[in-house]
């Protein structure tokens, strides 16, 4: 898990995205993560039942597919359900995502 989180953070730093350092002690309770495949300009729904309003979602490129444009962005966020992302035309790349909570963080 640490290796995956490190890769996500390194990828996000390289893309100059806002990233918050994740303490391994907090990872199990305050972080969820996964991947999704972009579908051009059509929105993609990412399920995350642990998501809450105020959580921060960061996205980084995993595997190139189609024509990569701008990194997809979060279009909607619904607590207890997940979020949707929107990319650019012809992008069918796989992306990593990580959502971090800020409750009970020292």
pLDDT for the residue numbered 34: 97
Specify whether the CB–CB gap between 85 and 38 falls below 8 A.
yes
The whole-model pTM stands at: 0.71
The string of pLDDT tens digits covering residues 18-54 is 444 444 444 556 899 999 999 999 999 999 999 999 8
Assess if residue 106 is contained within a domain.
Answer: no
What integer is the mean pLDDT of 98-102? 89
Domains identified in the chain, total number:
1
Q: Please give the residue range of the domain that contains residue 76.
A: 2-22+31-100
pLDDT tens digits for range 41-98? 999 999 999 999 989 999 999 999 999 999 999 999 999 999 999 999 999 999 999 9
Q: Is residue 105 part of a domain?
A: no
State the Cα–Cα distance between residues 13 and 45, nearest whole angstrom.
24
């Amino acid at each position: 898990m640490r290796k995956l989180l490190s890769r996500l953070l390194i990828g996000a730093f390289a893309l100059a995205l806002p990233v918050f350092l994740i303490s391994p002690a907090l990872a199990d309770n305050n972080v969820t993560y996964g991947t999704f495949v972009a579908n051009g300009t059509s929105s993609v729904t990412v399920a995350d039942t642990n998501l809450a309003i105020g959580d921060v979602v960061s996205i980084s490129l995993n595997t190139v597919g189609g024509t990569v444009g701008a990194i997809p962005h979060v279009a909607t966020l619904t607590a207890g359900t997940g979020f949707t992302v929107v990319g650019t035309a012809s992008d069918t790349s796989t992306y990593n995502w990580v959502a971090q909570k800020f409750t009970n963080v020292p």
